[in-house]
């Protein structure tokens, strides 16, 4: 059974001016997501600035999310690392804290072979009973988990159940879907490809867009999953200009700026990320107004 279907928000981590996590704003964001129909919370992923969270605050953010959500929708914790032992430790701790699933990015910088990726994920999965979603984002990690490897992992490992596919390569997704024949739950990791990926059998999206347009992202993803493609396509195409602006600078710079525009005091990203340029903010604001989320 899938961890979720529809829209999983890759939620930002709000920060105070001193750089500490702003839990008051975090709670407001989480409640807003639940109220507007988001199907799952993905905490401490790329959008949540996991690379600059130390272990105690990373785990505290996971625990806080679990405590606020209280089982209303699944909480998926980002616990991946390029250090297999560290990913094991973080995954074990996330399970103890009550997470419903794990999101595990492919190892970055090391550039593992396909056999290395297989061994890495098998080792993490063996340390937990939680369902695991592999996060394939070669543009950030320099490593691409190939369809054959992903299917091998899913068939050999009971709790490796899905993949967040952010290669942007629909041909690779199609090959994966064909080889998997239903043994891998496929989620789009790109907001601009939700409908085509679901047309190939995907179950939804792990989304940046959902931070600022949760209802619309849920509606688009569920319509696509349920085969209502005309409805899904209309939302997908309307959202393209906004999605473009949400990725005109590296994520999560623009989405934090967008949430500030909506009145959520999420603060600036941690260095080495910086505040969005004024010119880009103007374009983002225009796209948000045109989409109807501002």
Whole-angstrom distance, CA of residue 73 vs CA of residue 214: 14
Sort strands 75-78 and 204-207 into parallel, antiparallel or unpaired: unpaired
User: Beta strands of the chain (E only): which ranges?
Assistant: 6-10, 40-43, 75-78, 101-105, 132-136, 160-165, 185-188, 204-207
Give residue 275's region: left, alpha or beta (phi > 0; psi -120 to 50). beta
Whether residue 36 lies in the annotated active site: no
Beta bridge partners of 164: 135, 187
Whether residue 63 lies in the annotated active site: no
| Residue of 5, 118, 121, 164 with catalytic role | 164
Structure token digits, residue 200? 């190939």
| Residue of 5, 63, 121, 135 with catalytic role | 135
Asked if 220 and 190 count as a contact pair (C-beta separation under 8 A), the reply is no
Q: Which positions ≥6 away from 279 have C-beta within 8 Å?
A: none
- The catalytic residue positions are 135, 164
């Amino acid at each position: 059974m899938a961890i979720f279907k529809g829209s999983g928000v890759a939620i930002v981590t709000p920060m105070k001016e001193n750089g500490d996590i702003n839990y008051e704003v975090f709670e407001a964001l989480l409640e807003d997501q639940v109220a507007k129909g988001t199907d799952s919370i993905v905490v401490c992923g790329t959008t949540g600035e996991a690379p600059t969270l130390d272990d105690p605050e990373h785990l505290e953010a996971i625990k806080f999310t679990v405590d606020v959500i209280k089982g209303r929708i699944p909480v998926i914790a980002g616990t991946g690392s390029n250090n297999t032992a560290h990913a094991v430790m973080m995954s074990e701790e996330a399970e103890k804290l009550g997470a419903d699933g794990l999101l595990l990015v492919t190892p970055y910088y090391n550039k593992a072979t396909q056999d290395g990726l297989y061994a890495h994920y098998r080792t993490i999965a063996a340390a937990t009973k939680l369902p695991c979603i592999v996060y394939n984002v070669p543009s950030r990690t320099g490593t691409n988990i190939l369809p054959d490897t992903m299917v091998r992992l899913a068939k050999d490992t009971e709790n490796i159940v899905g993949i967040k596919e952010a290669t942007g390569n629909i041909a690779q997704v199609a090959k994966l879907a064909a080889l998997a024949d239903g043994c891998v739950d496929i989620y789009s990791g790109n907001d601009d490809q939700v409908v085509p990926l679901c047309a190939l059998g995907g179950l939804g999206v792990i989304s940046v867009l959902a931070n600022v347009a949760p209802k619309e992202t849920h509606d688009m993803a569920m319509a696509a999953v349920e085969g209502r493609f005309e409805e899904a396509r209309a939302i997908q195409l309307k959202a393209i200009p906004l999605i473009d602006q949400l990725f005109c600078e590296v994520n999560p710079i623009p989405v934090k700026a967008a949430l500030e525009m909506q009145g959520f005091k999420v603060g600036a990203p941690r260095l080495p990320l910086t505040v969005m340029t004024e010119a880009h903010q103007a374009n983002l604001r225009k796209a948000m107004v045109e989409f109807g989320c501002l």
